Amino acid sequence: MSSLRIPDLAGKVFLVTGASTGIGAAVALALGEQGASVAVHYNASAEPAKKVAAGIEKAGAKAFLIKGDVTTPAGPAKIVEAAATRFGKLDGLINNAGSLVKRTPIADGDDAFDHAVFDLNAHSVVRASRAALPWLKRQGGVIINTTSISARNGGGGGAVLYAASKGLVSTLTRGMAKEFVGDKIRVNAVAPGLIDTLFHERGTPQAMYKSQEASIPMGRAGTPEECVGTYLFLASEALSGYITGQVIEVNGGQLMP
């Protein structure tokens, strides 16, 4: 993406949650390459986050590292306030933080596990978006949520609750788009399919991964970098100014709704 120039992203301020690895890291770096200032959120992965920030600064843009736990009731708001206060404004929120937590069949779960999955993948999106709203209202802006192919297909083995939490994110995207449109805030989402990240390295058995890969018409998993263009497109008013409430699938043809 370093050779691509989207002029209206330069000078904008974005917060990317879960930006230390995977899709979040790729998006944060790409925004920096476009000349945007980027708040790089992380929780446990400090060293990878520092590398992302260094890459943004190497591209000539400003980066700000924010450590925080999005699963706590107050965590997302603190992260948003830290980012907006540091840069004096906020033009875009990328709600990307999320995880499978662990593959657990419904029968083997409990209330604590249920809350852990939904707090990370869904409630954090509500809380961060609510906190960002007053800042985005000042000049208009964008919220881009990361949902998943699993929101449509129910997820793989042991991932039903994760899929359900992402289904909430997809529905939330459409609802917020309607609520926020009067404030010139566009809300959209990206739904990645099988993407080669730590998400699957940590939580998907190899046999399951290969089976999912075999179902993709393109014949392979995607990369985080192959998701980036969709986020940049949705972040740009010039490119997608009349698009809101949409969930864009990035899955190599694995699902064609």
Do 17 and 41 contact (CB within 8 A), yes or no? yes
**Tens of pLDDT, residues 155-177:** 988 999 999 999 999 999 999 99
| Cα→Cα distances 136→149, 226, 230, Å | 28, 27, 21
Over residues 105-114, mean pLDDT? 95
Q: How confident is the model at residue 211 (pLDDT cuts 50, 70, 90)?
A: confident
Region 7-243: CATH code: 3.40.50.720
DSSP string, 87-143: HS--SEEEE----------GGG--HHHHHHHHIIIIIHHHHHHHHHHHHHHTT-EEE
Do 124 and 70 contact (CB within 8 A), yes or no? yes
Q: How confident is the model at residue 203 (pLDDT cuts 50, 70, 90)?
A: low
Of 42, 32, 90, whose CA–CA distance to 65 is shortest? Answer: 42
Which tokens is 213 given?
């890969």
Which tokens is 229 given?
């263009």
In the prediction, which pLDDT does 2 show? Answer: 65
In the prediction, which pLDDT does 185 show? Answer: 98
Catalogue the active-site residues.
162
CB contact burial 63-87 (16+ within 10 A = b; e otherwise) = bbbbebbbbeeebbbbbbbbbbeeb
Do 141 and 233 contact (CB within 8 A), yes or no? no
H-helix or E-strand containing 66? strand 63-67
Q: Does 202 have pLDDT greater than 80?
A: no
Q: How confident is the model at residue 135 (pLDDT cuts 50, 70, 90)?
A: very high
Residue type, 149: I
Which is higher by pLDDT, 116 or 211?
116
Do 99 and 73 contact (CB within 8 A), yes or no? no
pTM here is 0.95
Q: Does 200 have pLDDT greater than 80?
A: no
Over residues 50-55, mean pLDDT? 98
Residue type, 139: Q
**Tens of pLDDT, residues 187-199:** 999 999 999 987 7
In the prediction, which pLDDT does 192 show? Answer: 97
Tell me, rounded to whole angstroms, the distance of Cα 134 from its chain centroid: 20
**Tens of pLDDT, residues 234-246:** 999 999 999 999 9
Domain extents for the chain? 7-243
Tell me the C-alpha distance between 191 and 2, whole Å.
23
Q: How confident is the model at residue 1 (pLDDT cuts 50, 70, 90)?
A: low
Q: How confident is the model at residue 50 (pLDDT cuts 50, 70, 90)?
A: very high
Q: Does 152 have pLDDT greater than 90?
A: yes
Count how many Cα atoms sit within 13 Å of the Cα of residue 16 in the half-sphere of its side chain: 31
In the prediction, which pLDDT does 22 show? Answer: 96
In the prediction, which pLDDT does 162 show? Answer: 96
Helix axis angle for 111-118 and 160-180, nearest 10°, is: 40
Q: How confident is the model at residue 62 (pLDDT cuts 50, 70, 90)?
A: very high
Pairing of strands 63-67, 92-95: unpaired
